[in-house]
Amino acid sequence: MHVGPGSGVPTGLSDPGTTTRLMNVRAYTEGDAETWDAYVRSHPSGTVFHLLTWSDAVRQAYGHRAVHLTAWSDGRLAGVLPLFEIKSLLAGRFLVSVPYATYGGILADSDEAARALLEAAKDLSRAFGAKYLELRHREPNNLDLPEIDRYDTFRKMLPQSPEEVLPSLPRKTRAAARNGIKALGEDAVEIGPEWLDTVYDLYAVTLRRLGSPNYSRRLFHGLRERYGDDCVCLVVRENGSPLAGVVSFVFRDEIVPYFSGCLDEGTPKRANNVMYLRLMEYAVGRGLRWFDFNRTRRDNLGPHKFKQYHGFEPAPLHYQFYLNGAARMPNLSPSNPGYALAGRVWRRLPLWLTRPAGARITKWVP
């Protein structure tokens, strides 16, 4: 069931609406669902996270309240803003677009529509008593909002055929992938929905090793159920035992590897190199043209370099904020020095504790 009635958007916003010149902004309703997703799929800056599918899974897994906004011009949809209200024990109440996603924010046909959506979102922030509004834009814009300068994303076009993927990689990365295939075998990779829980377990182990809480298993299952064949589960095994895995999402002509994990023993065997090589080959074989290696903090040097070694160039992300009650822009990321001790403790806790605890903690850190 799509986000809509019962989402908690103040009725004053949807009737009579917020109007800027000929632009009318109102709350999303279920009747907008088909038009919304068609708009996202056709918009040049649309992402897999702007689809209502993502919102539905988030709401089911975590119970956050959706307060999506739409902009209309002469009866035609001119912009969308997927938006959630978060009540966090760590950061108080805030609005974010989009939770548990690396991209989000406003999609609009014009600066006028974008600004109308922004003003409506600010109104919601004030009405809810939210400390801040966070918009996770991938591209720069003209909204004139303060930004955090912390994350890069990595995107690149794929070759024309699966056979061209390995030769297209930089020399050292190509050698690492070949060494991994030699160590693990040509048939080390399996792809299919039956591997979802395996990837989740690898992901949870990896997040504990990094000192970060994992997302809910229920989110993984909700996304898989809703995205169907556009949710791709891949694992790398050695003698039948999983070493590494990744859950990816397909949107238009690109694939987005999103949740991943690798056991310690997989690192010297280049399991990650094999995993991403085979994922790229799969994507090309499926007719996809882009590989979105996704977000990485600049101070997270290992993953940042790993993506560059695959021939991807970093591009800054534009996470923007409207501060309603907060004195400064928040930092709920692992780079926050205040979380350093918690991270060290987390690494020492048993997995039977961190896995369910992480699923609860991440309700407050979306």
Please list, residue by residue across 224-250, b when 16 or more beta carbons sit within 10 angstroms of its beta carbon and e when fewer do.
Answer: bebbeebbbbbbbbbeeebbbbbbbbb
How many whole angstroms separate alpha carbon 288 and alpha carbon 160?
A: 9
Report how far apart, in Å, the C-alpha atoms of 308 and of each of 152, 297, 301 are.
11, 13, 11
Q: Give which of 172, 155, 190 is closest to 317, Cα–Cα.
A: 155
Give the Cα separation of 234 and 279 in Å (integer). Answer: 8
Q: Please compute Rg for the chain using Cα positions.
A: 21
What pLDDT is recorded for position 21? Answer: 55
Return d(Cα 274, Cα 244) in angstroms, integer. 9
Contact 273, 177 (CB under 8 A): yes
The tens-digit pLDDT sequence of the chain (366 residues) is 343 433 444 433 333 345 445 789 999 999 999 999 999 999 999 999 999 999 999 999 999 999 999 999 999 999 999 999 999 988 889 999 999 999 999 999 999 999 999 999 999 999 999 999 999 999 999 999 999 999 999 999 999 999 999 999 999 999 999 999 999 999 999 999 999 999 999 999 999 999 999 999 999 999 999 999 999 999 999 999 999 999 999 999 999 999 999 999 999 999 999 999 999 999 999 999 999 999 999 998 999 999 999 999 999 999 999 998 777 777 666 766 776 778 889 999 999 999 999 999 999 999
What pLDDT score was predicted for residue 86?
Answer: 96
Residue 12 has what pLDDT?
31
DSSP-derived secondary structure for 219-279? HHHHHHHHHGGGEEEEEEEETTEEEEEEEEEEETTEEEEEEEEE-GGGTTTTHHHHHHHHH
Domains of the chain listed by start with CATH number: 11-151+317-335 (3.40.630.30), 159-288 (3.40.630.30)
Q: Give strand pairing partners of 71.
A: 25, 79
Number of neighbouring beta carbons within 10 Å of residue 306: 18
What pLDDT is attached to residue 10?
Answer: 40
Q: Identify the CA nearest to 58 among candidates 73, 43, 68.
A: 68
- Return the half-sphere exposure (C-beta side, CA atoms, 13 A cut-off) of residue 141: 29
Exposure class string for 309-335: b at 16+ Cβ within 10 A, else e: ebebebeebbbbbbbbebeeebebebe
Instruction: Please report the pLDDT score of residue 333 as a whole number.
Output: 67
